[in-house]
Amino acid sequence: MPQQPLTDVVRVAVHAPDTIDRAGLVSFFQHDRRLSEISSTQDADVTVVAVDTVDTSALDLLRGLCNRPDARFVVVVGRRWHAEVSAAVDCGVRAVLWRDSFTPPVFARTLMAVAHGGGSFPPALLGTLMEQVQRIHREVLTPHGLTASGVSHREVDVLRLLAEGRELAEIAQKLSYSERTVKYTLYGLMKRLQLRNRAQAVSYAIRSGLI
């Protein structure tokens, strides 16, 4: 029986400082039929980047390799980490592997996980990331009444009631606001997030997990 063609193969681009490092990384997954090497980082589902040290120059390298907002990087680090973990995440880093402590099966699993929206960080870096997120919440978001999504608690309340089919007058009564305040809150949110109408605002809230 003829073999069925593979579907949903993950396209992987590899960027390494020299050909030997690159060949070594490619050899880790080249026989895995779920993964396929490509040369273009712009077209890759996942881009593997090997560096000795993660610092500001390494983050600049990541930004230059792919300018897509949905870029996903797996960084293989040789020595040290000298950058904000949250800044690396902002650059598209979704997984970090220490060069001397992973195996081909772990590498392949990490690539698959990142391609499908997952991530993986060493415990120490994950702990640092959680501390940074907590600090941002405490020092930046909470004083301004914002959530991690940049949406205020008042806006979330309005969106939740709007999703229930409530009219603005009902929402105002429920939240003990004036109808004018509810309209201003909703308009400000829609303008800030470039949402065209109330239906799109509700859809955004659901997709983002706000309600």
Show the tokens assigned to 104.
């081909």
pLDDT value for 95: 95
- The C-alpha atoms of residue 121 and residue 95 are separated, in whole angstroms, by 5
pLDDT value for 94: 95
pLDDT value for 130: 82
pLDDT value for 1: 40
Question: Could you read off the pLDDT of 80-113 as tens digits, one per residue?
Answer: 898 888 889 989 999 999 988 889 999 999 999 9
pLDDT value for 154: 87
Do 187 and 159 meet the contact criterion of CB atoms below 8 Å apart? no
Q: Domains in the chain, start-ordered, CATH in brackets?
A: 10-136 (3.40.50.2300), 145-207 (1.10.10.10)
pLDDT value for 149: 64
Residue closest to 48 by CA, chosen among 26, 22, 73, 28: 73
Per-residue pLDDT band at 5 (split at 50, 70, 90): very low
Average pLDDT over residues 142-148: 66
Question: Could you read off the pLDDT of 107-144 as tens digits, one per residue?
Answer: 999 999 999 999 999 988 888 888 877 777 677 666 76
Instruction: Identify which has the larger pLDDT, 1 or 96.
Output: 96
Per-residue pLDDT band at 147 (split at 50, 70, 90): low
Do 97 and 106 meet the contact criterion of CB atoms below 8 Å apart? yes
Do 47 and 66 meet the contact criterion of CB atoms below 8 Å apart? yes
